[in-house]
Each structure stands twice: as C-alpha cells, then as structure tokens.
C-alpha cells in the first residue's frame, strides 16, 4: 500500500474529511409553528434503543422549536433533492416561511411526534429528546429514535454529504466484507 504525501491543512476545514454522515432535513413543530432545517452534524450513539446525537446552533430558528417541543423528525433526502436542500438551507424559518409549500414538499403526520415527515425523503426518523444536559453548553441534542419509516427501494439510496464551501459529494458504491467480520463486530 502506497503512503500518500501529506501537507498541513487548515483546522477550520477538517470537516470536509470528518463529516461522513449524510445531510438530513430536520422538521420541527412547536405549538402552531413548523420549520425545516438542513443539518450535517450528527452521529449515531447507540443501537438498542436507537440513539442519535446532533448539533444545532442556538442562532438557528429551529433551535428553540426543537428544544421546547423536545421532538423532531430526521428526514433523509436523496441526491436528486440537492436544490431543495440548498434552498431550505438558504432561507430562515424566522421569516415565517412555510418551507413545505415553498419547496413543494409533502407533509405527512408522524405517529409519535407532532413534527411532520417529509414524504419525498427516502427515510424519516421520529425522535424524542432523551437527554438535554448538553444543549445549553454545546448545542448537543441526544435523541431516541422512536419510529423509523424507510422506503424499501433503493436499498442503498444516493445521499448527499456536505464537504464545506458549497460542495457536496454523493454516496458511492459499497464494499462488503460481511463474511470476514465476527458477528459481534457487525
């Protein structure tokens, strides 16, 4: 295996390499107000129960809606939705814009949360706040996913991954080594 040559790199740009998770659209609802925001900073924290963590900046309009309602829906858009994702990211819910209407999205009711699911997305994950201890200091919300809605096809959708500087990459092919892993490591 060839060892690549490396150079110093600005710390402010390392997210281009460390944010492998897909861009998601977070829908929220508090009282009669709804919103959708774009998010790239998230991580799985556990599998049973399904735990999910994400960073939401306190200056984001969705921050208070989500903190007060203690719930949201994590919606997984596919690469064909890139212009919708950028459009949602370029407008603020503080302007009282109905982003479902503005971007031609279909709202579906959640089973366990008041926030709406985005029907056009490949998957929707209804979340309830499991731990709020990191919100004030770090903007870190820790969720339990209480219901998952996933389209059966395609099995591996092409998703968007943000690299910074208005550049996205899409998920590529996959490599399986399932036969070489020990079951407890899968």
- 20-185 is classed CATH 2.30.110.10: yes
Q: How many CB atoms lie within 10 A of CB 89?
A: 17
pLDDT at 114: 97
Q: What is the pLDDT of residues 96-116, one digit of tens each?
A: 899 999 999 999 999 999 999
Parse the chain into domains and list their residue ranges. 20-185
Sheet holding 123-131, edge to edge: 33-39, 24-30, 71-76, 123-131, 140-150, 50-55, 42-47
**pLDDT tens, 18-45?**
666 899 999 999 998 999 999 988 988 8
- Measured CA to CA in angstroms, residue 100 lies from 80, 81, 95, 120, 175 at distances of 17, 13, 14, 11, 36
Average pLDDT in the chain = 90
How many angstroms from the chain centroid is the CA of residue 68?
Answer: 19
Widest Cα–Cα separation across the chain: 57
Mean pLDDT of 61-77: 97
- The reported pLDDT for the residue numbered 20 is 64
Length of the chain: 186
The alpha carbon dihedral of 38, 117, 121, 142 has a sign of positive
Percent of the chain with pLDDT over 90: 65
């Amino acid at each position: 295996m060839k060892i690549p040559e490396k150079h110093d790199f600005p710390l402010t740009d390392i997210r281009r390499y460390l944010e492998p998770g897909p861009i998601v659209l977070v829908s929220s609802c508090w009282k009669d107000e709804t919103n959708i925001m774009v998010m790239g900073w998230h991580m799985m924290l556990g599998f049973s129960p399904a735990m999910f963590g994400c960073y939401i900046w306190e200056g984001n309009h969705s921050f208070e809606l989500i903190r007060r309602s203690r719930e949201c829906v994590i919606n997984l858009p596919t690469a064909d939705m890139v212009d919708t994702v950028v459009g949602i990211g370029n407008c603020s819910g503080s302007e009282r814009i109905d982003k479902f209407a503005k971007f031609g999205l279909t709202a579906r009711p959640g089973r366990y949360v008041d926030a709406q699911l985005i029907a056009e997305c490949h998957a929707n994950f209804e979340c309830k706040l499991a731990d709020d201890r990191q919100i004030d200091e770090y903007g870190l919300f820790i969720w339990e996913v209480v219901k998952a809605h996933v389209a059966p096809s395609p099995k591996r959708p092409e998703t968007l991954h943000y690299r910074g500087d208005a550049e996205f990459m899409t998920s590529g092919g996959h490599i399986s080594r399932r036969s070489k892993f020990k079951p407890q490591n899968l």
